[in-house]
Structure 1
Amino acid sequence: MIVAEQGSGLTRRDWLGGAAATAGLLAIPGQAAARRLRPSDRVNVAVIGAGGMGAQNMAKLTSQNIVALADVDFDHVAKSFVDNKGVARPEMQPLKAAYDRAARFADYRRMFDARKDIDAVVIATPDHHHAIAAKQAMERGLHVYVQKPLTYTVREGRTLLEVARRNPKLVTQMGNQGHSGDDGRRVVEWIRAGVIGRVREVHVWTNRPLWPQGEARPAAVAAPSSLDWNLWLGPAPVDWGYHPDYAHFNWRGWVPFGVGSLGDMGAHLVDFPVWALEPGLPTRIETRHSRWGGDTDIWDGKPPADLGSYPLANITTYQFGRAKGGPLTMTWYDGGLMPPTPTAMPATARMNPDGGVLYVGDRGMLMHETYGEKPVLIGDGVAERAAAVPMSLPRILGGRDGHEMNWIRAIRGEEAISSPFSVAVPLTETMLLGMVALRADQPIEYDGDRITNVAEANQFLDREYRKGWAL
């Protein structure tokens, strides 16, 4: 039997400044014990954010007991079961039947208080709720599957990892499903085996945002009667009225609720170079960008005083001065921006504008799409070297589509977990440091604990919370 281990073997320079630095940030109460489950048991699962992505996750878990749902708008949840013409989607009807049997709550805090039969929770809310919901669940002894990005801030990630370390029997998973894919794992094996030689340069791009961004904040309108807007706002310390440009899908581009394209797709795309190259945390980060939403016609490049939406496009350059294989530069492009096509690119290969990663080594190049899929080997002898590399990473049953059930099997002690918080937190921290550099409006230098060259930028490692919603 394989039991997943979480949070072991990380050093200060690996990612966040060690236990001593973390302890000063945290005050963790006593923890509840998780119910011991056997391979033959069905797991009692609840979901927070039951529509949209939450419904996609839960549709993979109908073999388990879905016992409770928490959502601020069940009319929106119902749309998950029909197509855009209102016709029932056959593949979603088992989930609808499970949802119809489950207890319903608007406020997940009330769900935690009322239901003592929950073993595990899927959290698929907007980003600004992730850490609070996950911490409350873990403190009650519940296993957690948290959608990406794991947290809204660096401090929140550190907090969740500390809770996981104190509760090693809890199984944690971030929803970066590409981490479970066969292609992505093969990419990691090839990079680590040196099939393209030493990698000093990586380019990562996405077509996101696919939502309003770089725009001024719209005037508030009446919220749908089915939506509890106050609960949706939750910990966000703003008094914004409702607008469909925020909820339900469009929140990623608005500063109080999401962390933009890096938060959306970085957890997939940045995952593979961080995994394969083991660079540790970045030591220097700089973001160049288009204008912020709400900027006036006279633009100085700085964030407006009243932050609304993030810039439409960003280029973020990460320097990893402590990378395992030597200094590494990784450049992130979003808003439809892409790196130039390498001159050595075969005529048959194409850089997918939807998203991809290009690794530049001293013996060739490797390129793959968003979830590590469709890898392309470039250069003389690269394919031959790749063919000789043995498989060294375990494969996840079901691959990318098995990410949710990998979590269930790990809870039951059948399989090692794919993307636990010990993996997800430093990855998320790397992504979020790009957003910190954006907010700082200048290059930042990071020692694995604090920003050393722009003292005031350290405020962006944390955030304020609305009264009653503190982490």
Structure 2
Amino acid sequence: MENKNNSRRDFIKSAGLASAGFMIVPRNVLGKGFVAPSDKLVVAGIGVGGKGKSDLAKFFESGKAEIAYLCDVDDRRAKDSVAAYPKAKYYKDFRVMLEKEHKHIDAVSVSTPDHNHAVQAMAAMQLGKHVYVQKPMTHDIFEARALTAAAEKYKVVTQMGNQGSSGDGVRQLVEWFDAGIIGDVHTIKIWTNRPIWPQGIPWPTEKPPVPSELDWDLWLGTAPKKDYVDNLIPGSWRGWWDYGTGALGDLGCHLMEAPFRVLGLKYATDVQASVGSVFTSWGKRGVFPESCPPSSHATLTFPKTEKTQGPITMHWMDGGIKPERPEELGPDEMFGDGNSGVLFIGTKGKMMASEYAANPRLLPLSRMNEVNVPKKLERVPGSAEGHYAQWVEGCIAGYGKKQLSSPFEMAGPLTEAILMANLAIRVADMPFPRTNGNGMHYPGSNMKLLWDNQNMRVTNFDVANQFVKRTYREGWSL
């Protein structure tokens, strides 16, 4: 790599160590803590504004990553990262960047809207690049299964951006459960105040001009061709099924990860959901199939695992819906973190945590003074903030050499559970004309969807299977 070689030559000259055939400077010569240019991970960012900007900053802060390539379809969103890494080459089309620069890139960070995660990550993995992908890992169940398999096939180091999986909190929950403090867990309840963007609304009818800094066609990527609308970028795309995955996609990976790790969950066997409705006039329900509903409650069933005595029922609630407060929690004590939380219900007690599995607590809270379980699990240096450096160091070490908190082998099944809940939510909100021609009805809202995991199919309501694997826009493929 030309830039890499130049920086190495400059360093050797400045250190006075240049000699014939001296290509790599040994660590003992550089001194403790110094990372030679040849030992740095060369990172390319796809989607470098917002969360992508902070992801790149965290990789850079590890001291072991060189941010060498930037790619974003929107110059407005990219400007801060461009200013922060003035030597990095900038592209608008990730396909062009990978085609021209793949020989110089070690790893790729993907922080784009959900609908483009899979094609971008897969393109990088097929070139042998390690990948970090923001949550949720993918938009569709089929994509999650495909990326999980690809990570193993191409032997690349992977990490999903649910940094709570590196936190101390989830490890504390595992230690309490493994020590038998709350007995056998049979029920999980999860809730969030999301969405905090518009949902349950019609697609805008205005057709404003596309901003000159934005390549709208590239932003659409795999999604159907539509005219540009205002206020979709940077965050409101989450509430539209073509691009986002709603509240589940935003916070599900942060809140469901702890139950997956604590109980050893993998794939669900069935799912059902109910959704909040929007009424456009007295007694008339609004039908907005392109938009996620304003609130939902999904229930997933997981089979018995090696860590449980029977199946586990997981409840997901969003849009401000919360489960009943546990009787062990005082009337003025915080439930979760006020906005979000996860509650484990066991045969001998309960435990809960906040978003990212932070602030784990036993219930009643007085048990926190009574229970002392020794630490058995190694903590990630930096806790949740160490999630980024963990991936960088894993990439430098190579596939299979270091343990990561959210590699695709773990993030894939977690993502599938989130997307299965979304599948049920979409079905519950899907209108069908009544046979008598009098209005609409919603048969999916009263149905438990049975899941054939091996074949990735709903077996008792075929219309739901259209959401397992969507059809990409012509010119895009996985």
- Which TM bucket (shorter chain)? 0.7 to 0.9
The whole-number CA distance in structure 2 between the counterparts of 1:299 and 1:252 is 26
**Which of 291, 297, 305 lines up with 1:315 in the alignment?**
297
Shift of 1:383: 3.7
Counterpart residue identity of residue 65, structure 1: E
Per the alignment, residue 126 of structure 1 pairs with: 113
Q: How does 1:105-120 map to 2 (within 5 A)?
A: 105-115=91-101, 116-120=103-107
String of CA shifts for 1:201-240, please: whole Å, max 9, x gaps. Answer: 1110111111111111112322211111111001102x32
The whole-number CA distance in structure 1 between the counterparts of 2:301 and 2:369 is 31
Per the alignment, residue 430 of structure 1 pairs with: 417
Per the alignment, residue 338 of structure 1 pairs with: 322
**Which of 372, 379, 383 lines up with 1:387 in the alignment?**
372
SS at match of 2:411: helix
Per the alignment, residue 68 of structure 1 pairs with: 69
- Does 1:52 find its partner at 2:59? no
Per the alignment, residue 405 of structure 1 pairs with: 389
The whole-number CA distance in structure 2 between the counterparts of 1:322 and 1:448 is 15
The whole-number CA distance in structure 1 between the counterparts of 2:40 and 2:118 is 26
Q: Cα–Cα, structure 1 residues 70 and 134, in superposed 2: closer, same or farther, change >3 Å?
A: same
The whole-number CA distance in structure 2 between the counterparts of 1:386 and 1:50 is 45
Per the alignment, residue 273 of structure 2 pairs with: 287
Shift of 1:346: 3.0
- The more displaced of 208-217 and 171-180 is 208-217
Per the alignment, residue 158 of structure 1 pairs with: 145
- The more displaced of 42-51 and 68-77 is 68-77
Q: Cα–Cα, structure 1 residues 192 and 295, in superposed 2: closer, same or farther, change >3 Å?
A: farther
Higher-Rg member (1/2): 2
SS at match of 1:69: strand
The whole-number CA distance in structure 2 between the counterparts of 1:322 and 1:415 is 29
Q: Cα–Cα, structure 1 residues 323 and 296, in superposed 2: closer, same or farther, change >3 Å?
A: farther
- Structure 2 unaligned blocks of 5 or more: 1-26, 28-34, 429-443
Percentage of identical aligned residues: 40
Q: How does 1:168-317 map to 2 (within 5 A)?
A: 168=155, 170-219=156-205, 220-237=207-224, 239-291=225-277, 304=287, 307-317=289-299
The whole-number CA distance in structure 2 between the counterparts of 1:111 and 1:399 is 33
- TM normalised by structure 2 equals 0.82
Shift of 1:321: 3.4
TM-align CA RMSD: 2.1
String of CA shifts for 1:411-453, please: whole Å, max 9, x gaps. Answer: 1227422210000000000000001111222220113232121
The whole-number CA distance in structure 1 between the counterparts of 2:84 and 2:185 is 48
The whole-number CA distance in structure 2 between the counterparts of 1:261 and 1:105 is 31
String of CA shifts for 1:337-359, please: whole Å, max 9, x gaps. Answer: 11111122135631133211011
Runs of 4+ in structure 1 off by over 3 angstroms are: 95-98, 294-301, 321-324, 379-386
Shift of 1:97: 4.9
Shift of 1:192: 2.7
- The more displaced of 133-142 and 215-224 is 215-224
The whole-number CA distance in structure 1 between the counterparts of 2:402 and 2:372 is 27
**Which of 449, 453, 459 lines up with 1:448 in the alignment?**
453
Shift of 1:291: 2.4
Shift of 1:285: 0.7
Q: Cα–Cα, structure 1 residues 134 and 295, in superposed 2: closer, same or farther, change >3 Å?
A: farther
- Higher relative contact order (Cα pairs below 8 Å, separated by 6+ residues): 1
Shift of 1:394: 2.2
Counterpart residue identity of residue 106, structure 1: K
Counterpart residue identity of residue 472, structure 2: Y
String of CA shifts for 1:388-412, please: whole Å, max 9, x gaps. Answer: 3x32322111110111110001112
